[in-house]
Chain A
Amino acid sequence: MMSPSHSEPVTSILAAHRGQPGALLPILHAVQDALGYVPDYAVAQIANTLNLSRAEVHGVVTFYHHFRITPPASHTIQICCAEACQSMGAERLTRHAEKSLAQVSEGECELHPVYCLGLCANSPAMMIDDQLHARVTPEKFDRLIKKMGDGK
């Protein structure tokens, strides 16, 4: 399938941010919120409208951990790997998660480390899609994943 050179959501996002000083990050967030990632054709369209080169826009997209250039899986799981969570077993939790999720079919779930969710007094912490969870034991992890699988 060929990528569209202009996509309606991107066009309206660009229109909504016209004239905003330093608009590139807000635009990229809006695109990723709408499409789940920042596709190549969006980079081209953004570059065109903001009078930047594609390389410049691409450079910004790839500089920041938050932006992604490939479509996400159905669920995104982020486990905090920073010091406070390490002190409460984040490493063990991550190893457990990798093992548990190996059984889940591809494209359904992706696992990423994240550096601090601001829940450091309730470590270890993690996020499933946009839901925060704290004091996560391997047992609690399995319960939460099962719930996620049930579509709840």
Chain B
Amino acid sequence: MSITVFVPRDSAALAMNANAVARDILAEAQRRNIKIKLVRNGSRGMMWLEPLIEVQTAQGRVAYGPVESGDVRALFDADFLHGGKHKLNLGLTGEIPYLKKQERLTFARVGITDPVSLEDYLAHNGYRGLRKALTLQPAAIVQQVTESGLRGRGGAAFPTGIKWNTVLNAAGPQKYIVCNADEGDSGTFSDRMMMEGDPFVLIEGMTIAGLAVGAAQGYIYVRSEYPHAISVLNEAIAVAQQADYLGANILGSEKTFTLEVRKAAGAYVCGEETALLESLEGKRGIVRAKPPLPALSGLFGKPTVINNVISLATVPIILDKGAAFYKDYGMGRSRGTLPFQLAGNIKHGGLIEKAFGVTLRELMYEFGGGSASGRAIKAVQVGGPLGAYLPESQWDTPMDYEAYAALWAVLGHGGIVVHDDTADLSKLARYAMKFCAVESCGKCTPCRIGATRGVEVMDKIIADQDRHAQIGLLRDLCDTMLNGSMCAMGGMTPYPVLSALNHFPQDFGIVKKDPSTGGHHV
């Protein structure tokens, strides 16, 4: 019998040369006359170990990493095909603490299965949620999602069940399910890993959403920077279609659901749900005024469910194991798990799915092992480019939507970007303004003009021109943006800017208040 070897096809592995490793393993096996079966799996999410290759042994899967093409011969010499000793041997994959300490519900299969093998998917509890949904009335499906406490994982954390209920109750035969896979936030890659590593669970979640609200057509809007995700999705959709998990008669139920992948075109604001719908309709990605809600008048003016990849990919396990099972994880009004993404200046970056309630300090030190540079960690931006910078005094707050709101911070899509003590927070604040100026859709003045002014003001502060007055101006500008913007692009850019200013005033040239010397505070 041949031995199974796993080499990930995840973009992060590919960017570390996984294809060359895979090719060399095949060639070396052939040279030695050994029969192997090579599986291109998703990533386990331990990004500092990519490419992380695995071998199926009698004891379980044994991991080696990070493997370079030049290591392949030595690995064969060390009999890695039977879990042999080698300096890259990491032991049984499932026993690696980074993985073992996680609660993988949404990511249960990612890195384990062949992403485009329906057989694998079914063998690992796939499509059990859909089978359950097919036995339920639409309202009962929605009720399961509502009771699970699932809130949108795209950023705004709106209860998914309530959104679905609005669409279910909206009149009309034509409704849509739209998956927001624009994942524009720096420091985030959970949508990408999900689409590349377990596309069927997203397809299943969207199909369940279609049954729940009475929609027969779905679109997945994927950012153009994710070509591998797009091709894996298209491959999986074709397989699902072939096997009647998609199409005109899903599993003999006479229910219809079809899916199409649409490629975005590199505009951050198109992650905002109404700009995304405009883009899907073939227009510029300009934010729409609300109301009407997309749930009532969305894509092509029809009732539309629009959800993030992770929200939709979490639905199958809720249907399969029940709302109570999912709700049991988490704290307060933040139920279930969040796939955190640890990124930036961190030694052990990657995907960590944990129940809400874990702290930043646990993630950065117990999982992350501290900074990559070995220097002290100074500031952490949580929740993407519109999220606040958190100083050390806030790293012990449990990660929960409400607890973060109380800090004037957000969890957003779960991205965590670590900066060491060489970071200059005034530069990062300027960058946040610049980003908003470049990516603004231009519909409202506080954002369009405010961000451009914000860059000018930051330049003066950095150059120490009339600093005191400029900081006052910056605060006024932020106020206007916070209160007057039509969407969170302009409305939340003040989060990174003001948190940087308030927590790291020294980087803005402000002498910290020190009672002993009487240093003044601006």
Residues of A within 8 A of B (CB): 21-26, 28-29, 50, 59-60, 63-67, 82-88, 114-123, 125, 130, 132-135
The answer to whether B344 touches A25, judged by C-beta atoms less than 8 angstroms apart, is no
* Central interface residue in B47, B282, B344, B419, by most chain A CB within 10 Å: B282
Distance in Å: Cβ of A65 to nearest Cβ of chain B: 4
CA distance A86 to B11 in the complex (A): 20
The answer to whether B15 touches A122, judged by C-beta atoms less than 8 angstroms apart, is yes
The answer to whether A67 touches B11, judged by C-beta atoms less than 8 angstroms apart, is no
Which residues from chain A contact B418 at a C-beta distance below 8 Å? Answer: 87
By beta carbon, the residue of chain A nearest B379 is A87
CA distance A28 to B428 in the complex (A): 34
B381 within 8 A of A: yes
Say whether, besides A121-B48, A121-B349, A132 and B265 are in contact (CB < 8 Å).
no
CA distance A67 to B225 in the complex (A): 13
B284 within 8 A of A: yes
The answer to whether A86 touches B431, judged by C-beta atoms less than 8 angstroms apart, is yes
CA distance A130 to B431 in the complex (A): 27
Residues of B within 8 A of A (CB): 11-12, 14-16, 47-48, 50, 183-189, 192, 224-227, 262-268, 279-285, 300, 341-346, 349-351, 372, 381, 385, 415, 417-420, 423, 428, 431, 435
CA distance A50 to B342 in the complex (A): 45
CA distance A29 to B282 in the complex (A): 12
CA distance A82 to B226 in the complex (A): 16
The answer to whether A66 touches B266, judged by C-beta atoms less than 8 angstroms apart, is yes
CA distance A42 to B349 in the complex (A): 44
The answer to whether A122 touches B282, judged by C-beta atoms less than 8 angstroms apart, is no
Which residues from chain B contact A22 at a C-beta distance below 8 Å? Answer: 262, 280-282, 300
Additional A-B contact list (10), CB under 8 Å, known A64-B265, A83-B385, A116-B186: A26-B263, A83-B428, A84-B187, A84-B343, A115-B184, A118-B192, A119-B11, A125-B15, A130-B227, A133-B15
A82 touches which of B48, B263, B385 (Cβ 8 Å): B385
Say whether, besides A25-B282, A132-B14, A121 and B350 are in contact (CB < 8 Å).
yes
Which residues from chain B contact A65 at a C-beta distance below 8 Å? Answer: 265-267
B284 touches which of A60, A66, A87, A88 (Cβ 8 Å): A60
Say whether, besides A66-B224, A133-B15, A120 and B265 are in contact (CB < 8 Å).
no
The answer to whether A60 touches B342, judged by C-beta atoms less than 8 angstroms apart, is no
The 8 closest A-B pairs by CB, nearest first: A121-B349, A24-B282, A82-B186, A64-B265, A121-B47, A120-B343, A66-B266, A134-B15
Distance in Å: Cβ of B229 to nearest Cβ of chain A: 8
By beta carbon, the residue of chain A nearest B217 is A21
Pairs A–B under 8 Å by Cβ, sample size 26: A21-B300, A22-B280, A24-B283, A25-B263, A25-B265, A26-B263, A29-B265, A63-B284, A66-B265, A83-B428, A84-B187, A87-B344, A116-B185, A117-B15, A117-B225, A118-B11, A118-B12, A118-B188, A118-B192, A121-B48, A121-B189, A121-B350, A122-B12, A122-B47, A122-B48, A135-B16
